[in-house]
Structure 1
Amino acid sequence: MTEIIKTDICVIGAGSGGLSVAAGAVQMGAEVVLIEKHKMGGDCLNTGCVPSKALLAAGKRAEAMRSGAPYGIKPVEPEIDFAAANAHVKNVIKGIEPHDSVERFESLGVNVIEAAAKFTGPNEVEAGGKRIQAKKFVIATGSRAAVPPIPGIEDTDYLTNEEIFDNTVCPDHLIVVGAGPIGLEMAEAHKRLGAKVTVLEKFQAMPKDDPELTKIVLDSLRDEGIDIREGVDIESVSGKTGGITIKLSGGEEIKGSHLLIAAGRAPNVDNIGLEAAGVKYSNRGIEVDARLRTSNKRIFAIGDVKGGLMFTHVAGYDAGIIIQNILFKLPAKANYAAVPWVTYTDPELSQVGLTEAQAREKFGESIKAITWEYAENDRARAELLTKGLIKVVVDKKGKILGAGIVGASAGELIQTWQLALSKGFKMRDMAGMISAYPTLAEVGKRAAGSFFTPALYSERTRKIVKFLLKI
């Protein structure tokens, strides 16, 4: 007979969000079943954030050897062992795996089932020959690489983020379809590790970020020798690994050794029985309300599977909302107004809140965009990291609406502005902060201070000061 398991919470998917819910809930006293059909840790650990940053780190070390001349260090062309670089990637994954492992979660008290899950009704899931009946369900099945319907793609060898980190031979010529964060990060990593790289983008590269900031990134990547083409129509693709051909609409053919598809993400909503569960969804993801409840109020959805902002840190944030709703019966609602994101190219690009264009569309021309360049920062000058700037978007009273940073450590520097935005800080608060000297973080303080420059050094201020000095 089929085993029936009754539990408080059943989590489907052991990626970042699912693991956070399972670990938090079981340690707070709930009975938890966690179902994962593939690898614990999900996309982020195995085929996404972690391996991509590890490969970028290898490329960064290689580039440092080539670019020492301005510091008085003789540049050398490094001898790159691509297989060893790949081993570095795998070792980083292995170092993190125990934290996300079946063994760890079972030691916490979670009932882990390694099998595919499928709803058989509104309050029951089947997995591994077992039927799980739960008071609440959490769908955290994540997303996968979206493959555009390019003619010939089904018969062509191609890689996505799910396969590229298994490649132990450096491509002679890597062709990347898609100029978003994944495509550009992998383009730079492979270029620095010895590959020729061409990036093809149907629309605009990095479309979600501020064009003034993305230009700095794209110019830098092109200066490294990466061929980035925007507004490109691909007519067809063909070939096997080692002999890939891309035919463009104008008749031009681009030949390469490997093809990477990095054209966005698709939520994993198929084959999990959402219809039987009474859960509404589309190819854009599962529909949820502000409390992350689906159309079946016993079932929640978190992370990539609900579409929208597909970031690991969003899945982790969602997990906190779930814990409050399920365990503490609080009507907690998700608020994504202050979600930061980072593209880890060199220079990095980060954003939180509204871009300048979004702010002008929403609030009109009364908003201000305050910028400060890395070239005006002493630490940046000392380390020759002057390529970059910060842009802070504020209303006329100095309330922060958004911030974008392009430059060294942009992903670290954006954290302060995320806090400022989430807490409703104004430029006065940021300008009054004491920054250690010399640090890159001073670009933010200087930008905040410059908001007050026109008023501070105005003729009116001069008159007031002269008057007060006479007293």
Structure 2
Amino acid sequence: MTKRRLLLVLVIGLAIAVFFLSGADEAFTLSNLQAEQARFQAWLASDPVTVIGAFFAIYVVMAALSLPGATLLTVLGGALFGLGWGLVIISFASTLGATLAALIARTLLRTLLERRFAVQLERINAGIRREGAFYLFTLRLIPIFPFFVINLVMGLTRMRLRTFYWVSQLGMLPGTAVFVNAGRELGELDSLSGILSPGLLASFALIGLFPWLARAVVAIAKRRRLAARFARPAHFEHDIVVIGGGSAGLVASYIAAAVQAKVVLVERDRLGGDCLNTGCVPSKALIRAARVAQEVREAARYGVHAAEPQIDFREVMAHVRQAVREVEPHDSRERYESLGVEVVAGRASLDDPWRVRVEGADGERVLTARHVIIASGARPRVPDLPGLDEIDVLTSDNLWQLETLPDRLVVLGGGPIGCELGQSFARLGSKVSLVEMGEQLLPREDAEVADVLQHRLELDDVAVWLGTRAVRVEADAAEHGTHALVVQRRDAGGEIAEARLPFDRLLVAIGRQASVSGMGLEALGVETRADGTLAVDDTLQSVLPNVWACGDVAGPYQLTHASAHQAWHAAVNALFGEFRRFRVSYRALPAVTFTEPEVARVGLSEREAQARGIACEVTRYALSELDRAIAEGRQEGFVKVLTVPGKDRILGASIVGHGAGEMLAEFTLAMTHGIGLNKLLGTVHPYPTWSEAAKASAGMWKNAHKPERLLGWLARYFAWRRGERTTARRGASPRKAARQ
């Protein structure tokens, strides 16, 4: 730290210390200001220049140092100086103080932060250069964050201080006027009955209504600003154009058509998107075939003896494609057109926020709509790995074209897709090596959950390589026409060692990236986040007020049911956002990995709770205690429930075991509707079923919270009813009473 910065820190620290040690923070209370109001008025009458100058200086210092009391000073200014002069004095003092606060933050911290977070701050500064003034203006009008927070954060950006000053001057003016007027009304009170004066009531009403009024003003300003940049059509052909016919686009179109909106759905490939054609449906069909093969191998444990299953991979893939064909009518063009959706085949791009250009086999067409919903999905992410471009890489998109089973398959990525497909191919007869850079499989889950799955994969002869980094792909010298993945990981001595994993096919499953290119979004100013997804707020609105996004392209969860959840919000907010908007909540969003055993979770994991500093109690129930699991010989796994300490409110549930995805539904329902473990325990569950695991988990929680004092009294009561003498002390537990 330079001497200048150190000196500035010392001066600021000294000023703050003097403020609190002198008791000034206690003086800035409403009661104190009201008590001293007469003295202030006398000072003002005798020496107005000194009083105004001192008030101005104090206000500037408090705002610059982000000290508490600025709001009360604003009210006092209204009482002392009236609406006119009070507004002038406080408006300039607050703006000058805010600018000084931004300058202090910039001087002390910006250089340090830019060195450490250069990439992230560059993206923020790019947005500030383009939209910074308007963004700051909306924050000043609608104070989502306290003004002192805005001062400090904006000071860390590359916004010019001159711009910061004049935007703050204008943006804070309406709010300042409301509070100054409230102070003026308070200053004119001469009796307690005056508290009910119409002027004062109107001032307080304005304080309450101001955020809503300001929000409406900002919305109008956004629309006018948008119309100024682009030529807004005089009329629209459609209410909504949906780009993308995957799960998100289909649901958004369905919702819009159901409320009688005129909607057109544009899809460049196949309706149903990844879920139907390359994701959920085909993968679950493949998993089922692989599971049947494994059940045949393990039949002897139940006294049923069978030979090693003979796998006809062509027939397995035929079963997969048949499953897709049978589900396909649910997402067909005919079905959606019967619902009132116009379906257009072609590639879509935005000419402006209201015009969507579609290029298809039938030529080019321009659609106009009041709103556009982007649901263009995602595609598999392929790493920039040396030698990878020399082979035919498998992904979750093209995997389904295979006709022969790979003898040796290397799977790159230990997330849900990699684990599901890796286990399935191993059970179908491939020799599978699964490579994961992290220290555990399923990085989002708790370590003990991943350990159970890893143990099962290794029993299925999957070679699991954790903490392993892929380095390159090279030709295998030992076998002509084959290749190997060269990897690195630390050995037992901590040294980095290389290994070669020969393969016939390489499956890349390291995640998916949003499909945002080619739609003209960058030219319109629609930004992407660091992970490549479109930048939208929690109502799924982009920087353009009439452009929305949902599904994989918006993130953060690339799950079919998450896409449908978002699609409802995007469609409803687009159509009815003028009246009410709904924020997307992911608090009770379930997720399932369809391996064996299945891994399912809703809400917080224990790892997430610890990382976020959220206190919780953990209740763990082993499925080896469940009668149905014992009867079926599927005892691996457990249920883990996180609750608020001392209460039965569920914060999250993780399940690893057979049918975990089905068992999770009860916990998801409970979290969605605020049902606690006590009510789950009081619900009758059929015996013997897997669903009893939820009730048993609730029972374990209840047993840990049983009322020991009450039980001690009951023990004495029943002993008295039996006519027995007991020496159990008052309030002793039944166990202690039994020992006595």
Give the TM-score taking structure 2 as reference length: 0.61
Cα distance in 2 between the residues matched to 1:201 and 1:455: 41
Task: Give the 5 Å matches for 1:21-420.
Answer: 21-128=252-359, 129-203=364-438, 204-239=440-475, 243-249=482-488, 250-282=497-529, 283-329=531-577, 330-363=580-613, 366-396=615-645, 397-420=647-670
1:238 corresponds to which letter in structure 2? E
Show the counterpart of 2:684. 434
Cα distance in 1 between the residues matched to 2:703 and 2:533: 47
Asked if 2 retains the 8 angstrom alpha-carbon contact of 1:69 and 1:75, the reply is yes
Once structures 1 and 2 are overlaid, which stretch shifts more, 346-355 or 22-31?
22-31
Asked if 1 retains the 8 angstrom alpha-carbon contact of 2:445 and 2:607, the reply is no
Cα distance in 1 between the residues matched to 2:584 and 2:571: 12
Cα distance in 2 between the residues matched to 1:242 and 1:408: 41
Cα distance in 1 between the residues matched to 2:465 and 2:277: 29
Please identify which structure carries the higher helix content. 2
CA-CA distance at 1:170 after TM superposition:
0.5
Once structures 1 and 2 are overlaid, which stretch shifts more, 392-401 or 131-140?
392-401
Cα distance in 1 between the residues matched to 2:652 and 2:705: 22
Asked if 1 retains the 8 angstrom alpha-carbon contact of 2:244 and 2:266, the reply is yes
Asked if 1 retains the 8 angstrom alpha-carbon contact of 2:413 and 2:437, the reply is yes
Gaps of 5+ in 2: 1-234, 489-496, 722-740
- Identity in percent: 36
- Matched residue SS, 1:451: helix
1:307 corresponds to which letter in structure 2? G
Asked if 1 retains the 8 angstrom alpha-carbon contact of 2:329 and 2:335, the reply is yes
- Matched residue SS, 1:251: strand
Asked if 1 retains the 8 angstrom alpha-carbon contact of 2:551 and 2:566, the reply is yes
Cα distance in 1 between the residues matched to 2:484 and 2:705: 59
Give the TM-score taking structure 1 as reference length: 0.95
CA-CA distance at 1:239 after TM superposition:
4.8
1:444 equivalent to 2:694? Answer: yes
Asked if 2 retains the 8 angstrom alpha-carbon contact of 1:122 and 1:278, the reply is no
1:9 pairs, out of 240, 252, 256, with 240
CA-CA distance at 1:167 after TM superposition:
0.4
- Matched residue SS, 1:52: helix
Once structures 1 and 2 are overlaid, which stretch shifts more, 339-348 or 75-84?
75-84
Asked if 2 retains the 8 angstrom alpha-carbon contact of 1:156 and 1:239, the reply is no
Asked if 2 retains the 8 angstrom alpha-carbon contact of 1:123 and 1:277, the reply is no
Please identify which structure carries the higher strand content. 1
CA-CA distance at 1:5 after TM superposition:
7.9
Cα distance in 2 between the residues matched to 1:379 and 1:450: 18
Runs of 4+ in 1 over 6 A off after TM superposition: none
Cα distance in 2 between the residues matched to 1:464 and 1:116: 75
Distance 1:239 1:43, change over 3 A: farther
**Bigger radius of gyration among the two:** 2
2:656 corresponds to which letter in structure 1? V
CA RMSD of aligned residues (A): 1.8
- Structure scoring higher RCO (CA < 8 A, sep ≥ 6) equals 1
Cα distance in 1 between the residues matched to 2:520 and 2:262: 23
- Matched residue SS, 2:612: helix
Cα distance in 2 between the residues matched to 1:327 and 1:46: 30
Gaps of 5+ in 1: none
Distance 1:242 1:370, change over 3 A: farther
Asked if 1 retains the 8 angstrom alpha-carbon contact of 2:353 and 2:372, the reply is no
CA-CA distance at 1:7 after TM superposition:
1.0
- Matched residue SS, 1:85: helix
Deviations 1:45-103 (A, max 9, x none): 00111110000000011111110112110132111110000000000000111121122
Count of residues paired in the alignment: 466
- Matched residue SS, 1:96: helix
CA-CA distance at 1:393 after TM superposition:
0.7
